[in-house]
Structure 1
Amino acid sequence: MATKIKKGTFVKVIKEKLEGSLEAKASDVRFPAYIFESKGEILDLNDEYALVRFYTPTPSTWFRLDQLEVIP
């Protein structure tokens, strides 16, 4: 990744990388449009995943780091 992802970074989900992933197969594949179209903020990180909060009345969600795109 060109930009380092860290807490507080704004991101959006890359649809092509989420669709068909192991995580998508383990849950409802009808993803809400806001995860692809609006920005979310990284709240926490571990080795492979980031906890992302979107500014909608929904719970924060874990995504794999390679499924996220940094918003400048």
Structure 2
Amino acid sequence: MSFLKDALNSKSDAYVTSDIKYHEFFDADSRILLADIGHYESEQFTIELVANLLEQKFPTFAVLKTGVNTNPVQYF
């Protein structure tokens, strides 16, 4: 949230972070869309992206991707 003022001053439409406390949502005062995403949610597709990049750049390199889900948050 330390860059919210910068986002507002730049006339951005949205600010994506994973650092918003409940009462800080009111600081936007409906002037910008705040997207508060979790750590895991912001990185969950990184494994696939990095693996694809490695496979393209190094076709003879063996790329193994984990199948382990390390997200401690369980959604119901």
TM-score (norm 2): 0.25
Structure number with higher strand proportion: 1
What TM-score, normalized to structure 1?
Answer: 0.25
User: Of the two, which has the highest radius of gyration?
Assistant: 2
Whose RCO is larger (CA < 8 A, sep 6+)?
1
Whose helix fraction is larger, Structure 1's or Structure 2's? 2
